[in-house]
Each structure stands twice: as structure tokens, then as C-alpha cells.
Amino acid sequence: MKKRPVIFAFVVLDIILFVLPTVLVVIIAFTSAKTITFPPRGFSFRWFFEVYNSSLFRRGIRNSLVAATIDATLAAPIGVLAALALHKYTVKFKNFFQLYLLLPFTVPLVISGVGLMIIFSKFGLIGKVWGVGLAVLAVDIPFMIFAVSSSINSLNDDLEHAAQNLGASEIRAFFTVIIPAIKPGIITGYILMWLLGFNEFLVSLMVTNRSSVTLPVAMYTSMRSDITPDIAAAASLVILVAVILILIVDRLVGMEKFLSV
Amino acid sequence: MFYWKLLWRTTYVSVLVTALALLLAYPYAYLVTRIRSSLARKTLIVLSIVPFTIGVIIRAYAWLIVMGKGGLLNSFVFLITGTRIKLMYTGGAVIVGLLQIMIPIAIIEMIPAFTAVGRDMELAAENCGANRFRTFLYVLLPLSRPGITSAALVTFTLTFTSYAVPKFLGGGQFDLIGNQIYQQVFRTMNWPFAGALSLVALLVASVLIYSIFHFIGHGELRM
């Protein structure tokens, strides 16, 4: 490290960019003052109580929890089956499907958001929390497929053949051999989808109303009227959950394996 | 005239942010794959993944705390000079905010490329008498090109189509094309025009993506 000052300097700059804003949010959350000042005045938990007592934030947190869980739970089977199909079978129009699955990634969120909004208002889905889950599922599904694909690519096809040689049907081999073998990818994908679903802003802004508001939209609403430390308190909770979930992924799967370091 | 300016601003901001994000992500991704201590590697990975997962609103709010009128930076400036400077709602704020979002993504894209190159390649080059700079220029850089390409592609597309960062950190002073599309849909209610803008945006982005492929070379999209 010390022999490589250039790399060291860039990495330090990166870490400052990543960490500084996040840490400041957490510090501000514990202020006792009414406004954001530096250095922050006093120490209290009052803003966490404000969040707890605010019906907007409470509704936002509850709706985000529901939407994120629907999003991740539906994404898991879809991602596993799609990734497996593309890997294992000669699917007709394979290139087309591969490109199609990448679309949510390349089409601007503004555009897919407007499209979803039009469809949702036609079918009366605006205001339904499970609808928000579906909307974030539609834009984030590539992440699940990529997470599972990386596990499937390192899967040895002989494993399945061995299972079938021993008399397992394809379905049985799928449940007893393939699923356990690609579990790391499924866990990583599930948690990633959950976090992205919980925090998706633009798409949920377009498909929610007052009753189905999600936490990011609630923060946005509250930011527009006044920039107070209660947003910092809510944000700290999200940061805490994100750190815990990432550490869980690391425990269960290993971050290195996920990124194929 | 207005729309030419908008398109031009969106294009140069995307090119600038992509270039800076690649520059800042490259050494980080390199270090993640080469550092010996497993704990240090895990820490570096977690530090870059957490901002990626907490969403854009929290990060925009965080930058308000850093760059706002009563924010951290301005408090320092005030202590030293006795006056406050305008940091929020400028092009600089938008670029910093976008960079913070794009660097982790670029890092994630680049890591597999460095893993694929392998430390042996660099050692071989150094054994053959190349100094560190020549090893970088003739071995590391060409071999890690797929990672650079995919990082450039993803960073560029996401920046070109960003909405939230220019909205919150630019405060209407530094809109990009995504903001204008949103405006046309929800404020002016001119949907056909919004559709036309989207198509123009896709067209310009496609041309630039093609040139990334052409000049940096093929890569593969991942994550």
C-alpha cells in the first residue's frame, strides 16, 4: 500500500465519497436541535420518536416492507427459472430474451415508470401496495437473474446428470441438487432485490398515492416541505438495515464469492 | 434552442461522470482483487456496496447535509472566511452526487475483469523488466478492457437517464433530459412530446454507447 501512493490516494478519495455523507446522516439523526447545523447541537433520540409518531413515515415504512418482500419473493422463482432456462435449454430466440431481460437496465427509469403508471391506472392498481411490489419487480428483475446466473455458470452440469443417473426425475434433481447448489446466488439475489425494492424511489413515486406511499416517497414528500432531522432518523434506520443485510450475505455466501473476486 | 442545450448538457455530464467514475473506480477495484488481508478486502467491498443499496433519496438528502447552506462544508468555509458559498443547486453538486452513485457500480463491473487478469501476469511483466507504469500500460490496462467497457456502458446509460440526482442537487438549475421528460409527462401533460424526447434521448445514448463499444472494445454486461 505505502509503495503505491497513487492507488492509495484514489481509494481514500473513494472511501470519503462513500462514507462521509452516510455517516453524517447518522450523526444528524441524533441531534436534539430543530434544524441541521454543524457541529450538531445536543444528543437525543427525539427524531426517532418523531418518525415513530409520524403517520406518514409509519405508513411509508410499512408499505416499503410489504413491497420489498413481495418484490424479492416473486423475483426468486422468476430469476431462478429464467437463468436456468437460458443456461440449460436451447431456447428459441435466446438472444432476444437475453436482450429483453436487460431492457429494464437500459431503459430510463423515468420512461418505464411512466409506462407502468399508465398500465397501473388502466387496471386500477395505483394505491395498491402489492402493485408497488410488482412495479419494482419489473424494473429490478435483471439483478436477480444476474445474481443467480453467476451461481449457475459455476455449476457443474455433471451433478445433475449424476442425480438423474441415480434415478431422480428432472423435477426431483432440480429441487434436491440444483437449488441447493445455486443457493448462494439465490440468497444474494433475494437480499439485493429486497434492498433495491425497499429503496426504489422514482418508480414508486409514480405508482403510489397517499395511502400506498413508500418510505423513499415519504422522505421525498417531507424533504419538499422542510429539511428536518426526522428524515435523517428514518434514513439511519434504512442504513442500519442495509449494513446488517449485507453482513448477512457476507456470512452466508461471502461477498468475495458474489463478486467473483 | 432550449432542448439543444439540454441535450448537450446531458451528453457532456454523462461523458464527464463516466470518465471520472472509471478513473476513481479502477484503482479501488484493483485493490479489492489484489489486497492480501481478507478483512481489508471485505471492508472495501462492504463500503462500496452499502451506498449502492440505500437508494437515491437518502443519498441526495445526505449531500444536502454536506453541501447545503448550513451544511458541513459551508460551516468550514464560514469559519475560515466569514462568508458562505453556494454549493447546492450547481452543476458541481450534480456531478459529485452522480459520481457517488456511479463509482460503486463501476467497481462492481470491474472486479471480475481484474480477477481474470491474475497477479501472475503482472509479476511476469515485472520479471521481464517492465516498471510499474509500463506493466500498467501494456499488461493491466489492455487485459482489463472488458471490465472497463462494461463499467463505461452501465455508468454512461445510468447517468444519461438519471432523474433524482439532478432534481435534488441541481434544484431545477441543472436539469438533465430525464427531468424534462418527467416535466412533460406530469406538469405540461404533453405526452407525445415526452415520447419524442424519450426517443431522441435513446437515439443519442445509443450512438454514444456504440462509440464506447467501438473505441474501448467489447465487454460483457453483468449485474
SS3 string of chain B? Answer: CHHHHHHHHHHHHHHHHHHHHHHHHHHHHHHHHHCCCHHHHHHHHHHHHHHHHCCHHHHHHHHHHHHCCCCHHHHHHHHHHCCCCCCCCCHHHHHHHHHHHHHHHHHHHHHHHHHHHCHHHHHHHHHCCCCHHHHHHHHHHHHCHHHHHHHHHHHHHHHHCCCHHHHHHHCCCCCCHHHHHHHHHHCCCCHHHHHHHHHHHHHHHHHHHHHHHHHHCCCCCCC
Q: Using alpha carbons only, give the angle B144, B145, B151 rounded to the nearest 5 degrees.
A: 100
The sign of the CA dihedral B150, A241, A108, B20 is negative
Set of chain B residues whose Cβ sits within 8 Å of the Cβ of A216? 55-58
pLDDT (0 to 100) of residue B44: 93
Other beta carbons less than 10 A from residue B97's beta carbon: 27
Q: What is the nearest CA distance from B81 to chain A, expressed in angstroms?
A: 16
Average pLDDT over chain B, rounded to whole? 87
Does A239 contact B201 at a Cβ distance shorter than 8 Å? no
Q: Using 50, 70 and 90 to split pLDDT, how confident is the model at B69?
A: confident
For A52-93, the DSSP string reads HH-HHHHHHHHHHHHHHHHHHHHHHHHHHHHHHHHHHS--TT
pLDDT (0 to 100) of residue B223: 38
Bigger pLDDT: B57 vs B116: B57
Counting one residue from A and one from B, how many pairs have CB atoms under 8 Å apart? 184
Set of chain B residues whose Cβ sits within 8 Å of the Cβ of A255? 42, 45-46, 49
* Most confident range, picked from A134-143, A183-192, B14-23: B14-23
Residue of A nearest to B116 (CA): A261
Q: Which of B49, B103, B212 to mutate to test the interface with A (most CBs of A within 10 A)?
A: B49
Enter the pTM of the model.
Answer: 0.88
Q: Using 50, 70 and 90 to split pLDDT, how confident is the model at B170?
A: very high
Res A258 pLDDT > 70 = no
| Alpha-carbon gap, residue B98 to B13, rounded angstroms | 9
Q: What is the nearest CA distance from B20 to chain A, expressed in angstroms?
A: 11
Any CB–CB contact under 8 A between B112 and chain A?
yes
Set of chain A residues whose Cβ sits within 8 Å of the Cβ of B41? 256, 261
Q: Which amino acid is at A221?
A: T
DSSP structure class, residue A154: T
CA nearest A61: which of A212, A255, A257? A212
Residue of B nearest to A248 (CA): B46
Bigger pLDDT: A255 vs A76: A76
| Alpha-carbon gap, residue B78 to B75, rounded angstroms | 5
pLDDT (0 to 100) of residue B217: 64
| Alpha-carbon gap, residue B171 to A70, rounded angstroms | 33
Set of chain B residues whose Cβ sits within 8 Å of the Cβ of A227? 61, 64, 68
Per-residue pLDDT, averaged over B104-110, amounts to: 90
The answer to whether the beta carbons of residues B164 and B150 sit under 8 Å apart is no
Summarize pLDDT for B183-201 with one digit per residue, the tens: 998 889 898 999 898 888 8
Average pLDDT over chain A, rounded to whole? 87
pLDDT (0 to 100) of residue A87: 83
| Alpha-carbon gap, residue A168 to A180, rounded angstroms | 15
Set of chain A residues whose Cβ sits within 8 Å of the Cβ of B47? 15, 18-19
- Which three cell numbers, joined as nine digits, stand for A180? 441447493
pLDDT (0 to 100) of residue B63: 92
DSSP structure class, residue A34: S
Any CB–CB contact under 8 A between B189 and chain A?
no
| Alpha-carbon gap, residue B56 to B97, rounded angstroms | 9
Cell 462568508 belongs to: B83
Q: Using 50, 70 and 90 to split pLDDT, how confident is the model at A260?
A: low
The answer to whether the beta carbons of residues A177 and A92 sit under 8 Å apart is no
Set of chain A residues whose Cβ sits within 8 Å of the Cβ of B163? 108-110, 202
The sign of the CA dihedral B3, B216, B112, A99 is positive
Res B100 pLDDT > 90 = yes
Does A110 contact B181 at a Cβ distance shorter than 8 Å? yes
Does A110 contact B25 at a Cβ distance shorter than 8 Å? no
Residue of A nearest to B101 (CA): A18
pLDDT (0 to 100) of residue A40: 81
Q: Using 50, 70 and 90 to split pLDDT, how confident is the model at B16?
A: very high
Q: Which of B45, B65, B165, B180 to mutate to test the interface with A (most CBs of A within 10 A)?
A: B65
For chain A, give the percent of residues with pLDDT over 90: 48
CA nearest A67: which of A205, A222, A261? A205
For A259, the closest of B45, B57, B63 (CB atoms) is: B45
| Alpha-carbon gap, residue A140 to B222, rounded angstroms | 13
Q: Which amino acid is at A62?
A: R
Summarize pLDDT for A108-151 with one digit per residue, the tens: 788 888 889 999 999 998 989 999 999 999 988 888 988 888 78
End-to-end CA distance of chain A: 19
- At a CB cut-off of 8 Å and minimum separation 6, what does A96 contact? none
Does A216 contact B100 at a Cβ distance shorter than 8 Å? no
| Alpha-carbon gap, residue A216 to A231, rounded angstroms | 10
Q: Interhelix angle for A129-153 vs A183-199, to 10°? A: 150
Does B53 contact A196 at a Cβ distance shorter than 8 Å? yes
For B66, the closest of A20, A239, A259 (CB atoms) is: A20
The answer to whether the beta carbons of residues B100 and B47 sit under 8 Å apart is no
Res A61 pLDDT > 90 = yes
Any CB–CB contact under 8 A between B23 and chain A?
yes
Does A256 contact B164 at a Cβ distance shorter than 8 Å? no
Res A90 pLDDT > 90 = no
Residue of B nearest to A244 (CA): B50
Q: What is the nearest CA distance from A114 to chain B, expressed in angstroms?
A: 8
Does B100 contact A246 at a Cβ distance shorter than 8 Å? no
Instruction: Give the CA radius of gyration of chain A.
Output: 22
Q: Using 50, 70 and 90 to split pLDDT, how confident is the model at B222?
A: very low
